């Protein structure tokens, strides 16, 4: 890349404040969107936005988002589709508190974003920005950044006299360096109102973050040798497909070498659904056969409580941080740990394997046929189950997935939060699947779907969300922003009137327990169920309720027609537990 120094091109402006310089610093780093939930700390920002508009200075587009968790989830979904970070701005301590769930999700899903919060004024008098509302005392905090420090890569408070543009650049560089993640910055009101005391920083013509580090060649050669010599190698991955180019590379690797692929805890499309080496999300039987287990971008490859892989298998982990050091406890064994960008590791591995002389074509072909047979058997099992599910009442989640497969386009983006199993969805297009973060902070789906649509306005976005997760997602603010800013998506609520995950966890832990045998399990029922379709209608969108499985496809098609016309839509589907 060209690393030549260039000056930031902004015309002199005698009225420019630190708040205005902050806006300049965002646009200089190609920030397109700021998802904002304002408070009394925003006065200098609002003044700077209006001033910039009047004098013709370019600034990011600010969207008013009436709940912070929706805003942070929008940034999550926006990055997942665009590959670009967004900025979220919130109101001091209380706004930050409302983002914590979303920041946890972003941290565990390696989503870069800049969360910026105001800081209650430090002074009681002597400045235009000094405290003038009673909450300015109550909202003060000894350590505002402490609320999010465990889950962000960097946090800092802007001080008087400091160059805000340099700090914004530092924040975004850290966020975009591997492993990526959120950063946090606080902006006191008095400081934002001051005049900048430094000239604009010299801008270097480079991308945000560090150049991704390649894994050691010797380490990749060792992995290639292990694959070439293995009888039954298996690849497990969760997020290798986060880089869309890796999807075709993984498909090539799996097909050429006859390697089974398990999408464990998958949050991306890592290999097409119809690829014969794709064995879905179930790892149990295959791991017992494998003599080589290769975990690539995979935090949780299996559950040790219920699955024990072949004890003699060689275990290899490849990731930017193969120890996932931000997880307090993670006990998965490994014989080889390879650190580096998996986007660089994949072509290196293919090249090393092509040069390997220990190829056994007959063994590879036999293995390829065996894996393809497993894939075919599982596909037939799914098809047979769907034939039964087609007539079930209440509607089965698998049938909802089948209906989505019928109505979606090839490039439709599916956002799933406690909706349906990935194994029932037909997912071929890289970069078209988003699901919950490992943090499990429910309520991400609604905002993430809107953010994804914002990043790809020419593509349909379908959200599949459980009724409990839907309520966590702050539906009214989420639908408001979709209507107000014309960001239409189709939301399909799988409404079983309960928190199914809590119910299933209790039965799983105590299968013969009192709770499993009771007529009504405490703390899981969500009855009487609200009319979620009416909530969408009240916000200005299209909403309808479906109880008949034969009418579901038509309802989804009506919803997508509304979306095509610029109107968000919701289908409230009365479902049975999975």
Quote the pLDDT of residue 446.
99
Query: Do 257 and 164 lie in a common domain?
Result: no
CA angle 325-328-334, nearest 5°?
Answer: 55
Query: Do 299 and 399 lie in a common domain?
Result: no
Cα separations in angstroms, 145 against 39, 177, 186, 238, 571:
18, 21, 8, 30, 40
Query: Do 312 and 165 lie in a common domain?
Result: no
Copy the structure tokens of residue 559.
Answer: 């919803």
Q: DSSP for 347-401? A: HHHHHHHHT-S---HHHHHHHHHHHHHHHHHHHHHHHHHHHHHTT-SSBPHHHHH
Query: Do 270 and 182 lie in a common domain?
Result: no
Quote the pLDDT of residue 249.
99
Structural domain contains residue 157:
yes
Cβ neighbours of 423 (radius 10 Å) = 20
Query: Do 282 and 347 lie in a common domain?
Result: yes
Rg (CA), the chain: 25
Quote the pLDDT of residue 228.
95
Structural domain contains residue 224:
yes
Report strand pairing: 61-64 vs 87-90.
Answer: unpaired
Q: Which of the listed residues 171, 204, 237 is the one where a domain comes to its end?
A: 204
Quote the pLDDT of residue 387.
93
CA distance 522 to 298: 35
Which CATH number is 116's domain given?
3.40.50.970
Buried b (16+ CB within 10 A) or exposed e, 386-412: beebbeeeebbbbbbbbbbbebbeeeb
Quote the pLDDT of residue 524.
87
Query: Do 260 and 333 lie in a common domain?
Result: yes
Copy the structure tokens of residue 210.
Answer: 């560090």
Quote the pLDDT of residue 201.
65
The DSSP secondary-structure symbol of 148 reads T
Structural domain contains residue 326:
yes
Report strand pairing: 182-188 vs 203-204.
Answer: unpaired
Query: Do 225 and 200 lie in a common domain?
Result: no
Structural domain contains residue 373:
no
Give the chain's end-to-end CA distance (angstroms, integer).
50
Cβ neighbours of 426 (radius 10 Å) = 16
Cβ atoms of 48 and 23 closer than 8 Å: yes
Quote the pLDDT of residue 429.
97
Structural domain contains residue 188:
yes
Burial of 384 by CB count in 10 Å (0-12 exposed, 13-18 middle, 19+ buried)? Answer: exposed
Quote the pLDDT of residue 282.
84
Cβ atoms of 466 and 494 closer than 8 Å: yes
Query: Do 122 and 162 lie in a common domain?
Result: yes
Q: DSSP for 290-315? A: -SEEEEES-S--S-TTT----TT-EE
Burial of 472 by CB count in 10 Å (0-12 exposed, 13-18 middle, 19+ buried)? Answer: buried
Query: Do 564 and 421 lie in a common domain?
Result: yes
Query: Do 430 and 345 lie in a common domain?
Result: no
Q: Which of the listed residues 365, 381, 415 is the one where a domain comes to its end?
A: 365
CA distance 185 to 153: 11
Nearest in space to 182 (alpha carbons), one of 147, 213, 212, 215? 147
Structural domain contains residue 382:
no
The DSSP secondary-structure symbol of 450 reads H
Look up the domain containing 403 and give its range.
390-574
Structural domain contains residue 523:
yes
Cβ atoms of 404 and 416 closer than 8 Å: no
Copy the structure tokens of residue 279.
Answer: 């064995």
The tens-digit pLDDT sequence of the chain (578 residues) is: 344 433 345 666 778 999 999 999 999 999 999 999 999 999 999 999 999 999 999 999 999 999 999 999 999 999 999 999 999 999 999 999 999 999 999 999 999 999 999 999 999 999 999 999 999 999 999 999 999 999 999 999 999 999 999 999 999 999 999 999 999 999 999 999 999 987 776 667 889 999 999 999 999 999 999 999 999 999 999 999 999 999 999 999 999 999 999 999 999 999 999 999 999 998 778 999 999 999 999 999 999 999 999 999 999 999 999 999 999 999 999 999 999 999 999 999 999 999 987 788 999 999 999 999 999 999 999 999 999 999 999 999 999 999 999 999 999 999 999 989 999 999 999 999 999 999 999 999 999 999 999 999 999 999 999 999 999 999 999 999 999 999 999 999 999 988 778 888 898 899 999 998 888 888 888 889 999 999 999 999 999 999 999 999 999 999 999 999 999 999 999 998 76
Q: Is the alpha carbon torsion for 431, 552, 390, 444 positive or negative?
A: positive
Domain count for the chain, please give it: 3
Copy the structure tokens of residue 353.
Answer: 């394997």
Structural domain contains residue 381:
no
Q: Which of the listed residues 151, 181, 204 is the one where a domain comes to its end?
A: 204
Query: Do 142 and 238 lie in a common domain?
Result: no
Residue 439's SS3 state is: coil
Query: Do 168 and 310 lie in a common domain?
Result: no
Phi then psi dihedrals of residue 277, to 5 deg? -90, -5
Query: How far is C-alpha 186 from the geometric centre of its chain's CA atoms?
Result: 24
Dihedral angle of Cα 539, 541, 542, 543, to the nearest 10 degrees: -30
Burial of 560 by CB count in 10 Å (0-12 exposed, 13-18 middle, 19+ buried)? Answer: buried
Cα separations in angstroms, 149 against 112, 182, 252:
15, 10, 41
Cβ neighbours of 220 (radius 10 Å) = 24
Cβ atoms of 217 and 22 closer than 8 Å: no
Which CATH number is 287's domain given?
3.40.50.1220
């Amino acid at each position: 890349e060209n690393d030549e120094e260039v000056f930031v091109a902004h015309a002199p402006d005698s009225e420019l404040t630190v708040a205005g310089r902050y806006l300049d610093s965002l646009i200089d780093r190609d920030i397109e969107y700021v998802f904002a939930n304002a408070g009394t700390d925003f006065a200098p920002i609002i003044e700077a936005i209006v001033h910039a508009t009047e004098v013709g200075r370019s600034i990011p587009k600010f969207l008013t988002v009436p709940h912070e968790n929706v805003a942070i989830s929008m940034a999550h979904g926006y990055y997942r589709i665009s590959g670009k970070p967004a900025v979220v701005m919130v109101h001091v301590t209380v706004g930050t508190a409302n983002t914590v769930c979303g920041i946890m999700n972003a941290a565990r899903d390696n989503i870069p974003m800049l969360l910026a919060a105001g800081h209650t004024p430090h002074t009681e008098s002597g400045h235009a920005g000094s405290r003038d509302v009673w909450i300015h005392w109550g909202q003060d905090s000894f350590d505002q950044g402490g609320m999010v420090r465990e889950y962000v890569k960097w946090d800092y408070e802007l001080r008087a006299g400091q160059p805000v543009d340099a700090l914004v650049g530092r924040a975004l560089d850290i966020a975009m360096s591997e492993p990526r993640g959120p950063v946090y910055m606080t902006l006191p009101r008095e400081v934002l109102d001051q005049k900048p005391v430094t000239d604009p920083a010299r801008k270097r013509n480079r991308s945000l973050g560090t150049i991704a580090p390649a894994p050691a060649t010797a380490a990749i050669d060792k992995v290639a040798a292990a694959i070439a010599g293995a009888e039954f190698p298996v690849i497990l991955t969760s997020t290798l497909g986060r880089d869309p180019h890796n999807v075709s590379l993984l498909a090539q690797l799996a097909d050429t070498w006859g390697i089974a692929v398990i999408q464990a805890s998958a949050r991306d499309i890592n290999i097409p659904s119809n690829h014969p080496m794709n064995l879905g999300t179930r790892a149990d039987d295959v791991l017992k056969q494998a003599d080589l287990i290769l975990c690539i971008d995979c935090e949780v490859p299996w559950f040790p409580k219920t699955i024990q892989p072949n004890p003699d298998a060689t275990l290899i982990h490849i990731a930017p941080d193969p120890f996932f050091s931000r997880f307090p406890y993670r006990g998965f064994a490994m014989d080889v740990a390879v650190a580096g960008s998996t986007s660089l590791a994949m072509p290196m591995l293919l090249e090393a394997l092509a040069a390997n002389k220990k190829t056994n074509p007959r063994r590879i072909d036999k293995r390829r046929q065996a894996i393809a047979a497993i894939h075919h058997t599982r596909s037939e099992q799914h098809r047979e189950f769907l034939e039964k599910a087609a007539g079930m009442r209440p509607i089965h989640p698998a049938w909802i997935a089948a209906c989505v497969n019928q109505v979606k386009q090839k490039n439709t983006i599916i956002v799933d939060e406690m909706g349906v199993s990935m194994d029932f969805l037909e997912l071929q297009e890289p970069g078209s699947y988003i699901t919950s973060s490992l943090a499990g902070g429910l309520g991400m789906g609604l905002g993430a779907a809107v953010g994804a649509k914002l990043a790809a306005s020419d593509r349909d976005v379908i959200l599949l969300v459980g009724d409990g997760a839907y309520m966590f997602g702050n539906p009214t603010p989420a639908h408001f922003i979709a209507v107000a800013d014309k960001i239409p998506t189709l939301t399909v609520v799988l409404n079983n009137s309960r928190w199914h995950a809590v119910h299933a966890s209790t039965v799983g832990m105590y299968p013969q327990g009192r709770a499993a045998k009771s007529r009504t399990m405490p703390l899981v029922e969500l009855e009487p169920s609200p009319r979620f379709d009416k909530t969408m209608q009240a916000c200005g969108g299209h909403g309808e309720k479906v109880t008949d499985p034969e009418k579901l496809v038509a309802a989804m098609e009506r919803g997508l027609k509304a979306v095509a016309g610029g109107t968000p839509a919701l289908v409230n589907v009365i479902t049975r537990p999975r």
